[in-house]
A and B are shown apart, each in its own frame.
Chain A
Amino acid sequence: MSDQKFKLRIDGVEYEASPGQMLIEITDAAGIYVPRFCYHEKLSVAANCRMCLVEVEKAPKPLPACATPVADGMVVSTRSPDAIAAQKATMEFLLINHPLDCPICDQGGECELQDLAMGYGRDVSRFTERKRSVADKDLGPLVSTDMTRCIHCTRCVRFGQEIAGIQELGTLGRGERTEIGTYIERSVDHELSGNIIDLCPVGALNNKPYRFSARAWEMVARPTIAPHDCVGANIYAHVLGGRIKRVVPRQNEAVNETWAADRDRFSYEGIYADDRVQQPLLRVNGELQPVSWEQALDAAAGALRDAGSECGALLSPSCTVEEGYLSNRILAALGSGNIDHRLRRRDFRDADADPVMPWLGTNIAGVEQMDALLVVGSNLRREAPLLAHRVRQAALAGARIGFVNADAYEYLFPVTAQHVGTDLLAEMQSLVAASSGTGDDDRQHSVVALREGKNAFVWLGQIAARHPRFAELRRLAAELCRATGAQLGYVSEGANAAGLALAGALPHRDAAGQSAAVNGRDVSQMLRDPPATLLLLGVEPELDFAGDASGTVASAGKVVALTPYLAGALREHADIVLPIGTFAETSGTYVNAAAQWQSFAGAATPVGDSRPAWKVLRVLANLLEVSDSEYTTSEDVRDELRELVGDLQPDNSLNTDSKLAAASEVPGPEILDVPMYSIDALVRRAPALQQTREARAATGDDEADEAA
């Protein structure tokens, strides 16, 4: 790239621009608003809406700012009479066939067409012909359609082509009869497809679960962090009367850009599931009875005190940093190290070699700068959709991406090599062998890519982390890194694996990676040998572990469940139920896979009598006389941990040559991949997500559907 700069005048003011930039980039940066519909900074330029026409000196006709490259000495008027006339002309054309049903349109109040019509439209239409009407499409459970409102900007089409990597929507027909549709009737299924709702500048594509339930201007936008994967997408919860009505992405170029995964956007529905616990419950004579918070907390503290060092705690990997830190402090005070959040992991032989916090090895935006990546054991698009999107951008820019998996998943980007085999260990052994010059061509190709890459990574995904021979897999990955100069990275489970590791929610470590004072039992040991009192935090025993953990819960002495939901094994076996808020009803902090600490305040009013989990834990700590536990805010908790962590840098390098014990479990035919809409209690309760093709396929409903 040359450093050459052009000078141009826009509305009488001189600006600098780089060759190749489009006019609209300069005006946007300068804060000069040029109206637009089809242009979107994340999508290719279509130049079809003709709203951004501006006057350029010496040009015989107005030019679209979005598609006009800057030139040295260019003189541009965005507000001259000719420019305004051209913009107004386009607005008139856009409105003649638009239904103008703003009062019953969900987009009303946040509609780009409505906003611009205020500035560029006429008071009264000259158009007296019949307006066009277009049949609506059924795009599935997430996106509603009112296609008569469509202004054919094709943002949704370009999103499919360019961001999702699969074109689910296209333009059909010609001229005035142009329609957006799927051609053959089918749903829009990509895991990022909800973003077309935000991209649509009018009310043609809207949020289906939210439909007709609030007006944009009634709601308050509360910033928070998505709780389902290690990206930590920044989102807004739109809240009306304390209740979340919908979720939209919050722009953060370093994390999620302007996107949100469907899981992050639609999981909020699970907050209001029927099986939310409304008040504290205590098991009396075999039946759960409502009690006051005081009674419940006393009982819980008593159960923990009685068990003392025989306590154990199991936390969801999407618990906050504060929850993890407080849990660890409580257990430590009781003399127990039995705490874990790695619920789906099977192999702990090499746990001592775990990094202090798992991370990608790069920041999230940096993923796009990779030139080589080998992903081991990961259904990446399902594990972390926005991470897969970043990898896709890297692949499109020429990065060589390989996968080692038991299945050939559909990645929707160019993959240089797929090493598919049910025995991941054997696949990795062959790759390591190839790194010393033997092995077949395809493997050699992956090894060469890693070796030649200046920015090369080997990632261990969630399938790898759940593998019964994870220790060996990781050592082979590390060996491959050593042989090729690539760096090791982890695509970790849940929203906060990194934060919980730092908080000391591990049996062998305390906060900030210090060795634990008391070496405790890990999750697999606790499942085999249940603690006297088991503290469960945000988990469902049947579904959140490597196997069904109901048996453990049944045989534990006392079960203290901090949970938003009461179902299944918890309903059967929990002795004390303390209702806690979901991610949306608490303040807290997540640390994502790029080691970014992201704190958030509570967004919604807690359901029933539920309380933020960190507050419940704080009271338990007080009752158990844990020293220095008089925290007044979650920030106090976080800041204390932050100070302990200091400037500890993430480091994935694996330094171990201890002899591995024989694997306790033999790799079986079990499926290690968890369907994306079954990953945690919240998404499992989100009705719209459960109606997607993806979820129905996972539960087998889809086949029944097809047969019917």
Chain B
Amino acid sequence: MGGLEKNLVCLQTLGLDEPWTLDSYLQIDGYKAWKRVLAGDFSQAEIIDIVKSSGLRGRGGAGFPTGVKWSFMPRESEVQKYVVCNSDESEPGTCHDRDILRYNPHAIIEGMAIGGFAMGATVGYNYIRGEFMAEPVPRFEAAVAEAYAAGLLGKNIQGSGIDFDLYTFVGAGAYICGEETGLLESLEGKPGRPRFKPPFPAGFGLYGKPTTINNTQSFASVPTIINKGPDWFSQLGPENSGGTLIFSVSGHVNEPGNHELPLGIPFRELIELCGGIRNGNRLKAVIPGGCSVPVMPAAAIEDVNLDYDSLRDAGSALGTGAMIIMDETTCMVSALTRIARFYFAESCGQCTPCREGTGWLYRTLVRIQEGRGTREDIDMLVDVANKIEGHTICAFGDAAAWPVQSFVKHFLHEFEYMVEHGGESIVNERAAAA
């Protein structure tokens, strides 16, 4: 454990006095990369190549290579282009963007400015979730003000001929606004309902103009990638999983929290870092990437390294890197019901399968818990989930379906036990027996 270096990229300022200030940021080579851009050290293509070769993949959950995404923008085109930072962090279990906003907001600003330059966008928006009003939003806005005052943002910045203006936009708390086209709709002042793609945002985005949306952590990684070089970054993790990730560990560990660690660390080490499973209990299951990815039984994850490919091969996904840890006392039917309720509440209502299906899933689960379920209901749950999956405009439908499919697949006996015992959980039975 001692060998593990923490906070190498996005949370570098942690430990400094008032880490969120411009002074603190400057102590860790903050804005050095941006100043080199302003001095003309890089062409747009060079920046995009650096980001590509760093292996940085989108930290919002889908893991699409950031540099490749940036290359889709028509950067030579004369039209107004936009970069948008997705700080609508609302995937259950995930809370790392919040800490970057709180403790290292300047890294986001610098990453967005560099991205803006590379893609020819002169305006950036940071879309921050409404629930962050108390601390992250004021911290970020103060940082933007500091950056303007220091002449790091605005028009013709430091005589470079480069323009970049940055605005904060605060959402109203809908999960679906974290979906990039739902976010754009919301940013335009409309209800957050995802758009059908194509056209993709790189061609038709905010106000119909080319737009690239990246996650907070993706943007915050960019300055360090330029300062320390793409090779340094990519070599932090295994192949295909360059750099670090802030793992948000929640649930039944002794010390839940955020840990920025190189990708590819063994799951066991992360659990040790969090003080192990609470009360010395046995691990039962883990949702490794926010609640939208398939759940994994303990046996399937205990020996896995935490990177994109390893988790995919193990039957789930890295997602946002939010590890929801469930020990042996967890009733998997209850856990799934809680997740299903979330998707029922957050469906935007646009597409038929999701609008109608999420409520059906939730109500069926409630019925099972209330002792009014049948074995057929369990099959029907999976069937309904299968009919939502892949049938909707955005990935929300898939996200609502995957937990149902994986919970029933891995923990079928718990569902069966419940319908056979009038709603009694297998967990209570075991507790009683013990």
A contact residues vs B (CB 8 Å cutoff): 45-51, 53, 60-62, 64, 67, 69, 86, 89-90, 92-94, 96-97, 126-127, 129, 151-152, 171, 173-178
Contacts and interface: CB of A to CB of B under 8 A. Distances in A.
B145 interface: no
Given A90-B352, A129-B359, A171-B349, 11 more contacts: A49-B351, A50-B351, A60-B390, A61-B391, A86-B391, A93-B356, A152-B350, A175-B345, A175-B359, A176-B355, A176-B359
B197 to A, nearest CB: 9
B198 interface: yes
Contacts of A126: 380
B114 interface: no
Interface string B320-364: 000000000000000000000000111111111101111110011
A129 B364 contact: yes
A53 B347 CA distance: 20
Contacts of B191: 171, 174
A92 B360 CA distance: 11
A48 B345 contact: no
Contacts of B240: none
B277 to A, nearest CB: 35
Contacts of A96: 356, 360
Given A62-B390, A89-B391, A177 B349 contact: yes
Given A171-B191, A174-B174, A175-B355, A129 B360 contact: yes
B371 to A, nearest CB: 15
Nearest to B347: A175
A90 B353 contact: yes
A152 B391 contact: no
B284 interface: no
B349 A94 contact: no
B14 interface: no
Contacts of A90: 352-353, 391
A645 B202 CA distance: 59
Contact of A45 (B196, B345, B363, B390): B196
Nearest to B386: A89
A151 B352 contact: yes
B356 A97 contact: yes
A178 B360 contact: no
Q: Which 3 A-B pairs have the closest CB atoms?
A: A178-B349, A61-B390, A89-B387
Given A47-B196, A48-B393, A175 B346 contact: yes
B364 A89 contact: no
Interface centre among B198, B363, B387, B392 (most CB of A within 10 A): B387
A666 to B, nearest CB: 51
A174 B355 CA distance: 9
A96 B198 CA distance: 30
Nearest to B174: A174
A178 B174 CA distance: 14
Nearest to B345: A175
Contacts of B356: 93-94, 96-97, 176
Q: Is the interface of B mostly helix, strand, loop or mixed?
A: helix
Contacts, number: 86
A533 B350 CA distance: 67
Contacts of A94: 352, 356
A57 to B, nearest CB: 16
Nearest to A53: B391
Contacts of A50: 351-353, 391-392
Interface of B: 174, 191, 196, 198, 344-353, 355-360, 363-364, 367, 380, 387, 390-393
Contacts of A89: 353, 387, 391
Given A175-B346, A176-B344, A176-B359, A49 B390 contact: no
Contacts of B345: 175
Interface centre among A51, A86, A96, A174 (most CB of B within 10 A): A174
A354 to B, nearest CB: 48
B2 to A, nearest CB: 44
Contacts of A151: 352
A183 B358 CA distance: 25
A117 to B, nearest CB: 13
Given A45-B196, A127-B360, A178 B355 contact: yes
A183 to B, nearest CB: 12
A151 B348 CA distance: 14
A384 B415 CA distance: 65
A649 B353 CA distance: 57
Given A90-B391, A127-B360, A176 B347 contact: yes
14 contacts: A49-B351, A50-B352, A51-B352, A89-B353, A93-B355, A129-B359, A151-B352, A171-B349, A174-B191, A174-B346, A175-B345, A175-B355, A175-B358, A175-B359
A60 B395 CA distance: 13
B216 to A, nearest CB: 24
A174 B352 contact: no
A69 B198 contact: yes
A469 to B, nearest CB: 47
Contacts of A64: 196
Nearest to A151: B352
B83 to A, nearest CB: 26
Contacts of B357: 93
A93 B387 contact: yes
A47 B354 CA distance: 13
A151 B347 CA distance: 15
Contacts of A92: 387
A64 B347 CA distance: 20
A175 B352 contact: no
B387 A175 contact: no
Nearest to B175: A174
Contacts of A46: 196
A175 B391 contact: no
Given A93-B356, A96-B360, A174 B349 contact: yes
B347 A62 contact: no
A176 B353 contact: no
Contacts of A152: 349-350, 352, 355
B305 to A, nearest CB: 27
A225 B346 CA distance: 49
A49 B363 contact: no
